[in-house]
């Protein structure tokens, strides 16, 4: 099988997908400018480019969600135009979108059956489990087979809401594969996965995708792209600007291709200082993390902090000028720790000491008063009011400060305070930004507005949860820059991140969390991307729960699995 | 990009948003629709006025126009109050029963018990605030769904109307000055219209210019984000319900004075008209968002329609049919535009 494929590649083969001179214009922009590309059978093609480069427009055209203005698409040599996403699926082009689209209160089997020939309310029980959404016999058989391929057999009867994100992602992929696509588009499938889970996912989808369908892989994570893909296409400003063999491409070059010439030279130097493994060479502008850690006084101290069930005995110390990292996979209690510090979880035992004073934080308001600032993960869901203006987004916690007589807002004062901060944080476009709806800005700029929100109140303990989630490469550097600046201005900062590289670049100390507790601490020269990844993986190996996902070809386990094995 | 005013900023912001996400489907059509959509209701209203003007005699007479305005005053007060919970993503189905209880309770106190009108008003407002606070507490703090909680409250309040009045019609004995006030005109304008206008302005300032309004909009925009940003979401929600019932009970008291007669279930019929008005309002001016002036336009649309239909001489029940249809049309209209915008 494998050798066949190699031979196939030498012969001229008809591409699964051949896109020729595809253009799409939206008023004001040419979103796609004569884009041509092809995907060979069994190929994994990486699609890179920062936000707004045209990746999503392209995938919309390929999946029937939008119609190109001009150009041709050939599927297996046949010219085709999709009328709708359904039409695209019928013709064998499926997409696994970035948001997790699973139904948490249905089982794995029921989720996989969605969209197949189903009968509602098929009475009957299977493996002792009530089935609500039963399928036709062939559909059920197909699901069983797919589950076996994806090592999902054990969770077929488990409610999907209880599964880990990586498993939920696999279910989405399984659902797409069940439609027998010839081309499958994976859009940021690893967005909320920690490094070891990504590897798990790859080890399962790599052979499967290759045997069953060609893949277009869209991601901001360059390491993954180079790791997984055969070929990489880089888009910028609606055009394909480079096409490279992934084997001879390195991260530095790819990063340079994506960011292009339109970025400031400063960021270019930053990028150039990061070698292939994401490690920072000494002397680069980003090496200022090496400045003496623990320079300032202690601003925050947790002593055996418990907020059961998610936070179990955390000890940590944070100093002025320090950026403290928290690593760990999803569900390790990282977010819960930050939420506890934000007054959003009930402390069950232990204590929080802020600037030497034991402090009770019973609500976010208490935390705000104590000088905390919290920048939650999933900005869109947890931090941003898309229809409100930038100014209204920034001043929300401080409204009473801008209130005049009768509780009325002093609008001019509000705008001027916010504008000053936006300028300092380099929000673009700056002109009129304070009045504009925040939804109009890119992810990076939105994050800056949320940072501005807390700078307004003079916070000095910043809790960042996944600070660069959904932010493109260029803006990412700017967010790092802001975090470093906050630290050098004397703030204490905690950064939770799934990306080992991010932590390695920002932090002087990294705590690894597992099951709600800090289980390992890396400090000083030990804070490197590989050390952090290794620490996370090491933890995975200790936990047998992760094993079913690794052991390919494992015998099917009959009966019900213990539920926590899958969680 | 130069940005001369806030209005253009929003427009260009929308363009930029589309650029940034590079994910709009058909922006040309969307922008055209977005331009026409907020004008849909005014155009429809104009069409109705023109039609009724030709088809009936007296629709455009000064007397009839004054009449429509006078009839709109009290529904406007209730609907504007309802707009506040709606902006927060909540709603209150007990407004009609509450206005009714205010009418009956106030009438009973002044007309039957001979209580001083000022005290009667205070007692009535206090009772309605208690009902609103209970709604707010149950929904915001206990976490009951507004649908069921306010239906339950509504039933309770209807029962109270019978209890308070002893199931007897109340007439005579209303304070003459207040009755005269409610029926008077200032110049050509009915006094109640002016009262309503003041309340509308107050509500607009509250929602658009005050700290509380910002919090209301934050809760409506993204309650979780508001909570994490330190907004007291529960208190804001509860206050919204209190304000809503406050508006309804003021309308109820004014109604009692205007009619100088009260009977259970014979009060202001404002439940469906208020929702209709608010949803028409959400399709006016600021598209897809409930807003005070939009709600006022919505009330006027329903009142103009009701008045015109009566002048046409169609059977009375036609008003109900028309109101149901117009509410559905407003909802479908909003839905279609929203779908075009996102798909």
Residues of A in contact with B229 (CB under 8 A): 364, 383, 396-397, 453
Q: Do B20 and A441 touch (CB under 8 A)?
A: yes
Residue A110 lies in a domain: no
Domain that holds residue B75: 38-342
Residue A506 lies in a domain: yes
Cα separation, B110 vs A23, whole angstroms: 75
Residue B124 lies in a domain: yes
Establish if B209 touches chain A: CB-CB under 8 angstroms: yes
Q: Give, in order, the Cα–Cα distances in Å from A170 to each of A108, A175, B155.
A: 10, 8, 50
Domain that holds residue A508: 298-371+491-549+561-567
A-to-B residue pairs, Cβ atoms closer than 8 angstroms: 141
Residue B28 lies in a domain: no
Residue B6, H or E segment? helix B6-21
Can you say whether the dihedral through the CA atoms of A545, A546, A549, A555 is positive or negative?
negative
Phi, psi (5° rounding) for residue A35? -85, 125
Query: What one-character-per-residue DSSP string does A372-389 give?
Result: EEEE-SSHHHHT--TTSB
B55-110 pLDDT tens trace:
988 899 999 999 999 999 999 999 999 999 999 999 999 999 999 999 999 999 99
Q: Angle B192-B198-B201 (CA atoms, 0-180°, nearest 5)?
A: 140
Q: Which stretches does DSSP call E strand in A418-516? A: 461-465, 492-496, 509-514
Residue A377 lies in a domain: no
With CA atoms as reference, the chain A residue closest to B28 would be A27
With CA atoms as reference, the chain A residue closest to B27 would be A26
B284-313 pLDDT tens trace:
777 778 999 999 999 999 899 889 998 998
As a whole number of Å, the end-to-end CA separation of chain A is 35
With CA atoms as reference, the chain A residue closest to B218 would be A385
Cα separation, A179 vs A189, whole angstroms: 18
Residue B22 lies in a domain: no
Which CATH number do you get for residue A324?
3.40.50.300
| pLDDT at residue A263, rounded to an integer | 37
Cα separation, A288 vs A387, whole angstroms: 38
Residue B230 lies in a domain: yes
Can you say whether the dihedral through the CA atoms of A391, A395, A399, A402 is positive or negative?
negative
Which CATH number do you get for residue B236?
1.10.3470
Residue B4 lies in a domain: no
Residue B162 CB-density burial (10 A; 0-12 exposed, 13-18 middle, 19+ buried): middle
Q: Do A383 and B229 touch (CB under 8 A)?
A: yes
CA distance B206 to chain A (A): 8
ipTM for the complex shown = 0.80
**Mutate which of A67, A236, A407 to test chain B, going by most B C-beta atoms within 10 A?**
A407
Give the ranges where A193-248 is alpha helix by DSSP (H). 195-212, 222-228
Residue A359 lies in a domain: yes
Establish if B63 touches chain A: CB-CB under 8 angstroms: no
Cβ atoms B297, B190 nearer than 8 A: no
| pLDDT at residue B26, rounded to an integer | 43
Q: Do A435 and B289 touch (CB under 8 A)?
A: no
Could you list the pLDDT tens digit for every one of the 567 residues in chain A?
444 444 444 456 788 999 999 998 865 567 788 999 999 988 899 998 866 678 888 998 999 888 899 999 999 888 998 988 888 888 889 999 887 888 888 888 888 888 765 544 444 445 444 455 556 677 778 888 888 888 888 888 888 888 888 888 889 988 888 888 889 999 888 877 877 888 888 887 788 777 888 999 998 778 888 889 999 999 887 889 889 998 888 877 887 787 654 333 333 333 334 333 334 333 333 444 444 445 688 999 999 999 888 888 899 999 999 999 998 876 788 999 999 999 999 999 999 999 999 999 999 999 999 999 999 988 878 999 988 999 999 999 999 889 988 889 998 999 999 999 998 888 877 888 888 888 878 777 888 899 999 989 888 999 999 888 767 667 788 889 999 999 998 999 999 988 788 899 999 999 999 888 898 899 888 888 778 877 776 654 433 333 333 333 333 333 333 333 333
| Better-predicted residue by pLDDT, B241 or A210 | B241
Among the listed residues A181, A183, A174, the one whose alpha carbon sits nearest the alpha carbon of residue A111: A174
Residues of B in contact with A439 (CB under 8 A): 13, 17
| Better-predicted residue by pLDDT, B143 or A283 | B143
Residue A398 lies in a domain: no
| pLDDT at residue B30, rounded to an integer | 53
Residue A163 lies in a domain: no
Cα separation, B131 vs B265, whole angstroms: 18
| pLDDT at residue B31, rounded to an integer | 62
Number of domains chain B contains:
1
With CA atoms as reference, the chain A residue closest to B213 would be A408
Number of domains chain A contains:
1
């Amino acid at each position: 099988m494998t050798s066949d494929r190699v031979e196939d590649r030498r012969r001229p083969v008809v591409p699964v997908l051949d896109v020729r001179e595809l253009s799409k214009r939206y008023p004001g922009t040419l979103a796609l400018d004569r884009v041509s590309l092809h995907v060979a059978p069994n190929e994994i093609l990486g699609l890179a480019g920062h936000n707004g480069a045209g990746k999503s427009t392209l995938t919309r055209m390929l999946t029937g969600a939008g119609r190109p203005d001009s150009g041709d698409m050939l599927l297996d040599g046949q010219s085709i135009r999709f009328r709708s996403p359904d039409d695209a699926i019928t013709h064998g082009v499926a997409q696994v979108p970035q948001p997790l689209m699973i139904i948490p209160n249905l089982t794995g089997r029921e989720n996989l059956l969605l969209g197949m020939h189903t009968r509602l309310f098929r009475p009957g029980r299977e493996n002792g489990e009530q089935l609500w959404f039963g399928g036709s016999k062939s559909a059920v058989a197909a699901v069983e087979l797919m589950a076996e391929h994806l090592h999902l057999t054990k969770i077929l009867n488990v409610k999907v809401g209880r599964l880990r994100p990586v498993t939920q992602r696999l279910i989405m992929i399984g659902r797409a594969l069940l439609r027998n696509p010839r081309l499958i588009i994976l859009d940021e499938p690893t967005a909320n996965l920690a490094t070891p889970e990504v590897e798990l996912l790859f080890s399962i989808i790599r052979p499967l995708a290759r045997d069953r369908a060609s893949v277009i892989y869209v991601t901001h994570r360059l390491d993954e792209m180079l790791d997984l893909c055969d070929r990489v296409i880089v888009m910028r400003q609606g055009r394909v600007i480079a096409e490279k063999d992934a084997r001879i491409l390195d991260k530095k070059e790819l990063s340079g291709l994506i960011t292009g010439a339109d970025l400031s030279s400063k960021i270019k130097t930053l990028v150039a200082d990061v070698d292939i493994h994401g490690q920072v060479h000494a002397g680069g502008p980003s090496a200022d993390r090496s400045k003496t850690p623990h320079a300032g006084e202690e601003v925050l101290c947790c002593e055996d902090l418990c907020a059961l069930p998610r936070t179990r005995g955390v000890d940590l110390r944070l100093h002025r000028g320090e950026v403290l990292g928290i690593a760990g996979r999803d569900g390790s209690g990282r977010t819960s720790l930050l939420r506890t510090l934000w007054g959003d979880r009930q402390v069950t035992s232990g204590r929080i000491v802020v600037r030497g004073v034991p402090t009770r934080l019973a609500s976010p308001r208490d935390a705000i008063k104590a000088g905390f600032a919290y920048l939650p993960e999933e900005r869109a869901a947890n931090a941003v009011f898309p229809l409100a203006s930038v100014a209204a987004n920034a001043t929300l916690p401080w409204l009473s400060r801008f209130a005049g007589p009768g509780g009325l807002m002093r609008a001019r004062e509000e705008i001027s305070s916010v504008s000053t901060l936006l300028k300092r944080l380099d929000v673009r476009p700056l002109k009129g930004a304070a009045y504009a709806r925040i939804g109009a800005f890119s992810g990076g700029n939105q994050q800056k507005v949320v940072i501005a929100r807390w700078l307004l109140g003079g916070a000095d303990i910043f809790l960042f949860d996944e600070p660069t989630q959904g932010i493109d490469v260029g803006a990412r550097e700017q967010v790092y820059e802001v975090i470093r600046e906050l630290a050098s201005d004397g703030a204490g900062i905690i950064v939770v991140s799934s990306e080992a590289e991010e932590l390695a670049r920002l932090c002087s100390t990294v705590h690894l969390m597992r099951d709600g507790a800090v289980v390992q601490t890396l400090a000083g020269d030990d804070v490197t991307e590989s050390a952090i990844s290794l620490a996370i993986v090491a933890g995975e190996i200790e936990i047998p729960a992760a094993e079913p996902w690794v052991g390919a070809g494992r015998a099917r386990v009959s009966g019900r699995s213990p539920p926590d094995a899958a969680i | 990009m130069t940005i001369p005013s806030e209005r253009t900023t929003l427009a260009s912001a929308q363009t930029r948003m589309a650029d940034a996400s590079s994910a709009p489907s058909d922006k040309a059509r969307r922008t055209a629709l977005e331009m026409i959509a907020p004008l849909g209701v005014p155009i429809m209203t104009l069409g109705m006025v023109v039609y009724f003007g030709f088809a009936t005699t007296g629709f455009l007479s000064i007397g009839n126009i004054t009449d429509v305005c006078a009839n709109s005053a009290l529904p406007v007060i209730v609907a504007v109050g309802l707009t506040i919970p709606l902006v927060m993503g909540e709603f209150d189905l007990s407004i009609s029963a509450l206005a009714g209880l205010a009418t009956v309770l106030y009438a009973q106190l002044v007309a039957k018990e001979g209580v001083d009108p000022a005290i009667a008003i205070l007692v009535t407002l206090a009772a309605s605030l208690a009902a609103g606070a209970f709604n707010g507490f149950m929904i915001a703090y206990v976490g009951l769904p507004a649908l069921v909680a306010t239906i339950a409250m509504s039933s309770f309040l209807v029962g109270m109307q019978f209890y308070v009045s002893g199931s007897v019609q109340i007439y005579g004995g209303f304070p003459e000055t207040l009755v005269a006030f409610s029926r008077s005109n200032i110049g050509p304008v009915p006094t109640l219209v002016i009262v309503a206008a003041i309340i509308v302005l107050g509500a607009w300032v509250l929602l658009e210019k005050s700290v509380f309004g910002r919090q209301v909009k934050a809760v409506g925009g993204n309650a979780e984000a508001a909570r994490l940003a330190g907004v007291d979401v529960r208190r804001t929600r509860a206050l919204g319900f209190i304000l809503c019932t406050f508006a309804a009970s003021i309308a109820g008291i004014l109604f009692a004075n205007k009619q100088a007669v009260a009977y259970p279930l014979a009060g202001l019929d404002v439940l469906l008209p208020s929702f209709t008005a608010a949803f028409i309002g959400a399709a006016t001016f600021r598209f897809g968002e409930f807003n005070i002036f939009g709600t006022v336009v919505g009330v006027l649309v329903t009142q103009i329609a009701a008045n015109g239909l009566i002048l046409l001489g169609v059977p009375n029940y036609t008003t109900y049919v028309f109101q149901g249809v117009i509410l559905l049309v407003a909802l479908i209209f909003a839905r279609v535009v929203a779908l075009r915008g996102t798909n």
